[in-house]
Amino acid sequence: MAVRTTPKPLRISLDRSIERMRKQLAELGPFLGKGKPTRSLEEYDMETERLIGDLLGQTSDLLHAYEYAEVGEAAGLVNMTDEAPEGAGTDGQRQSLLQRGRVLESCVSELEARRAAEPKKTKANRQSLIGPQVAEHMSSEIRSLSQDASLREAGQLMQKWKLGSLLLTDQQRYVGFITDSALAREVVANGMNPNTTPVKQCMRAPVIGIEGVRPIIDAVRLMKDQATRHLAVTQDGQIIGVISVSNILRYYSGVV
3-class SS string, the chain? CEEEECCCCCCCCHHHHHHHHHHHHHCCHHHHCCCCCCCCHHHHHHHHHHHHHHHHCCCCHHHHHHHHHCCCCCECCECCCCCCCCCCCCCHHHHHHHHHHHHHHHHHHHHHHHHHHCCHHHHHHHHCCCCCEHHHCCECCEEEEECCCEHHHHHHHHHHHCCCEEEEECCCCEEEEEEHHHHHHHHHHHCCCCCCCEHHHCCECCCCEEECCCEHHHHHHHHHHHCCCEEEEEECCEEEEEEEHHHHHHHHCCCC
The alpha carbon dihedral of 6, 46, 112, 137 has a sign of positive
Question: How far is 131 from 253, CA to CA, in rounded Å?
Answer: 15
pTM of the predicted model as reported, rounded to 2 decimal places: 0.51
Q: Give me the pLDDT at residue 256, please.
A: 46
Residue 198: CA atoms inside 13 Å, Cβ hemisphere, count? 12
Q: Which residue ranges of the chain lie beneath pLDDT 50?
A: 8-11, 74-90, 121-129, 255-256
Determine if residue 130 is left, alpha or beta; phi over 0 gives left, psi from -120 to 50 gives alpha, anything else beta: beta
Closest CA to 247 of 203, 205, 210, 206: 210
Are 102 and 30 a contacting pair, CB within 8 Å? no
Q: What pLDDT is recorded for position 4?
A: 54
- Residue partners of 48: CB distance under 8 A and separation at least 6: 24, 66, 100, 104
125 close to 225: Cβ distance less than 8 angstroms:
no
Report the pLDDT value the prediction gives residue 2, as an integer from 0 to 100.
54
Crossing angle of helices 216-226 and 245-252, rounded to 10°: 140
Q: What is the pLDDT of residue 85?
A: 39
